[in-house]
C-alpha cells in the first residue's frame, strides 16, 4: 500500500524548521508568562513595594543627614574651642563642654597651667575633670598622672600611693607608667632604698615604649 509523504504542518517550513519555530514560540510564550506573572505581582503589591522603597530611602537619607549634622556639630565645637583658646575663656568652655573630648582637652590645658603656677588644688580639680571627659582617649592617662603629681604636691605620701597605683596598672600607657616609676625610683633612692630603686629600674627597662625615661633612669643611677 502506497503511503503519501507526510505533509509539513506549515507548508512554508520543512518539519525540522517547523519544530524550531515551535520551540521559539513556546519560549516566547514562557517569557510572556513570566512577564505577566511579574506584572501581576507588581499590580497586586505595588503599594507595599513602593512603601518599602520609600522607607529605605528615608532611612538612608536620615542616616546621611545625621552624619552631616554630627559633623557640623563637631566642626562648630572645634571652632568654639579655638575661639576659647584665643580669648582666654578655656575655663568656661571646659565647664560647658565637660562631657566632650574637646572639653577634656581644655580641662587638661587648664590643669597644666594651674600646676605650673603651683596652684595644685586647682590643678587637681581640672585634671580630674579632664580624666572624666577623656575616659575613652589614651590622653586620659596624662590626666591620671597629673592627678598623681598634684596629689604628691599637696600630700607627698598620698601622691606616692597614686603613682604606685599607676605604675602597677597594665592598662595604662607604658610611657606614663615609666614616668610614674621614675618618680618612685627617685623617691626610693632619696630614702636609701636601693633595692626598690633597682627593681623599678629593671621593670622600666623592660618596657617596650618607655620613651626617654629609660635614658633618664640610667643617667640618674
Specify the DSSP class assigned to residue 35. Answer: H
Joined grid coordinates for residue 36 = 505577566
CATH 1.25.40.10: does it fit domain 98-220? yes
Q: Where are the domains of the chain?
A: 15-87, 98-220
Q: If 0-12 CB within 10 Å is exposed, 13-18 middle and 19+ buried, where does residue 21 land?
A: middle
Distance CA 220, CA 30 (A): 91
What HEC string does 158-208 produce? Answer: HHHHHHHHHHCCCCCCHHHHHHHHHHHHHHHHHCCCHHHHHHHHHHHHCCC
Distance CA 65, CA 111 (A): 37
Average pLDDT, the chain: 77
At 36, give phi and psi (nearest 5°).
-65, -40
72 pLDDT more than 90 = no
The pLDDT value recorded for residue 86 is 52
The pLDDT value recorded for residue 65 is 47
Closest by Cα among 56, 57, 102 to 80: 102
Neighbours of 120 (CB within 10 A): 19
Which comes out higher in pLDDT, residue 28 or 77? 77
195-207, pLDDT tens digit by residue?
Answer: 999 999 999 999 9
8-52, pLDDT tens digit by residue?
Answer: 444 444 444 445 545 544 554 454 455 555 555 555 664 565 555
With a CB cutoff of 8 Å and minimum separation 6, the contacts of 37 are: none
Amino acid at each position: 500500500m502506497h503511503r503519501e509523504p507526510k505533509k509539513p504542518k506549515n507548508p512554508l517550513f520543512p518539519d525540522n524548521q517547523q519544530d524550531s519555530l515551535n520551540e521559539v514560540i513556546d519560549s516566547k510564550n514562557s517569557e510572556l508568562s513570566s512577564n505577566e506573572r511579574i506584572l501581576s505581582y507588581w499590580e497586586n503589591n505595588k503599594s507595599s513595594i513602593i512603601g518599602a522603597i520609600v522607607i529605605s530611602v528615608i532611612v538612608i537619607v536620615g542616616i546621611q543627614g545625621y552624619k552631616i549634622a554630627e559633623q557640623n556639630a563637631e566642626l562648630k565645637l572645634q571652632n568654639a574651642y579655638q575661639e576659647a583658646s584665643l580669648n582666654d575663656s578655656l575655663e568656661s568652655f571646659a565647664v560647658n563642654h565637660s562631657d566632650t573630648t574637646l572639653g577634656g582637652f581644655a580641662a587638661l590645658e587648664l590643669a597644666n597651667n594651674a600646676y605650673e603656677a603651683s596652684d595644685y588644688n586647682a590643678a587637681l580639680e581640672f585634671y580630674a575633670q579632664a580624666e572624666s571627659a577623656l575616659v575613652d582617649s589614651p590622653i586620659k592617662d596624662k590626666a591620671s598622672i597629673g592627678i598623681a603629681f598634684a596629689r604628691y604636691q599637696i600630700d607627698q605620701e598620698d601622691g606616692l600611693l597614686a603613682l604606685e597605683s599607676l605604675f602597677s596598672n597594665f592598662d595604662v600607657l607604658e610611657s606614663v607608667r615609666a614616668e610614674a616609676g621614675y618618680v618612685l625610683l627617685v623617691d626610693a633612692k632619696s630614702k636609701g632604698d636601693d633595692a626598690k630603686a633597682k627593681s623599678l629600674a629593671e621593670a622600666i627597662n623592660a618596657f617596650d615604649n618607655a620613651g626617654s625615661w629609660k635614658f633618664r633612669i640610667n643617667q640618674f643611677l
